[in-house]
Amino acid sequence: MTGREQAIGAALAVVVLVGVIDASVSGHDSGSTPSSSATPAATSQPTTSAPTPTSAATSAQPSHRAHHSPHHTANGGVTPATTAAEAASPTPTRTTAARHASPTASASPTIPPGVLGTFSYTTKGSEQTNIPGTQREFPSTTKITNKRKACGVASTWKPVPEHVQTQVLCPSGDGIKVTSYRTTISFYGVSSGEDFTCSGPSYVYQPAVAAGHVWKFKCKAPDAVAVQTSRVVGYDTIDVGGTTVRTLHVHVDTKLHGNSSGRSSQDYWIATSKPILVKEQGTVAASQRNVNYTESYSLALKSLSPKT
């Protein structure tokens, strides 16, 4: 999803923290097992018995919400082409793409063959809060599903049933922008989500960008603002199931301001032959009141052919 907007994301601690705090306010007893009845947006899976959030988490003063960019920038609506600028940048370099005007919506955008469908990724990572019993390991394989929507594609990553991230990616000129994203996370059977709308040069992919190119943009929710700075690292070749794939490597730093605070760091690699996420890795650190959330993850595409 930037793969996960740039993705990338990007995204997430925000709702995790809200869910944990809401659960404690609901009065779960210490040592209770997380409920199996999460809302439809994030159905919970069986977990080990975990103590309830401490009173400190509920009595602390509110602080700023934390968030990071969407994890999966896996697709868009245009077919990238290798350019002279790309050829001139054989080694990885960090570039940042600048935001431009909002993309022009198309009723039926052209989506390259092989973009829609479900892609499998070798996965490593976990998420947790400082409340005992909330750590979750991600499975060794996770999937990103790309579906046609509005001006482009909705890309969804669901590492576990309680954690769902979706971003909408749309063509803009020769590039691809993230226009919005949502993350829903559940702890203790309580789910919460946050919707962000992006504006300006919210690119996750641009053709003909050279290493060192930088751009910034903002994504806003009703009570939070995520400020993202992207930088082109360069162009790398990556083996995907025995096939060598040329990719654009972008590094993203995100800061969240509002009811919570936090930051994330993300690197993603998008194929230049067609806009799919080939590789991604990142970390997230966020805090709200006395609750701290951390996440680290990596994704590596297993096959260029999606299941449709």
> What pLDDT tens digit does each residue of the chain (308 aa) get?
443 433 333 333 333 344 443 443 343 333 333 333 333 333 333 333 333 333 333 333 223 333 333 344 433 333 333 443 433 333 333 333 333 333 344 445 788 899 999 999 999 999 998 988 899 999 999 999 999 998 999 999 999 999 999 999 999 988 999 999 998 888 787 777 789 999 999 999 999 899 999 999 999 999 899 999 999 999 999 999 999 999 999 999 999 988 878 999 999 999 999 999 999 999 999 888 888 889 999 999 999 999 98
107: tokens are 């009723």
Could you give the residue ranges of the DSSP H alpha helices within 122-240?
A: none
- H or E element at residue 85: helix 84-87
Q: Residues of 190-199 as b/e, b for ≥16 C-beta within 10 angstroms? A: bbbbbebbbe
| 84: phi then psi, degrees, rounded to nearest 5 | -60, -35
Residue that has been written with the tokens 């009723």 in this structure: 107
> CB 234: neighbour CB atoms within 10 A?
20
Give 277: exposed, middle or buried? Use CB within 10 Å, 0-12, 13-18, 19+: buried
Q: What residues contact 242, with CB distance under 8 A and at least 6 apart?
A: none
pTM for the model stands at 0.70
Angle at 116 between CA 112 and CA 120, to 5 degrees: 125
Question: What's the one-letter identity of residue 112?
Answer: P
Q: What residues contact 70, with CB distance under 8 A and at least 6 apart?
A: 1, 2, 3, 4, 5, 6, 7, 8, 9, 10, 11, 165, 167, 178, 181, 183
266: tokens are 């993300």
What pLDDT shows up at residue 239?
98
Q: What residues contact 43, with CB distance under 8 A and at least 6 apart?
A: 161, 162, 186
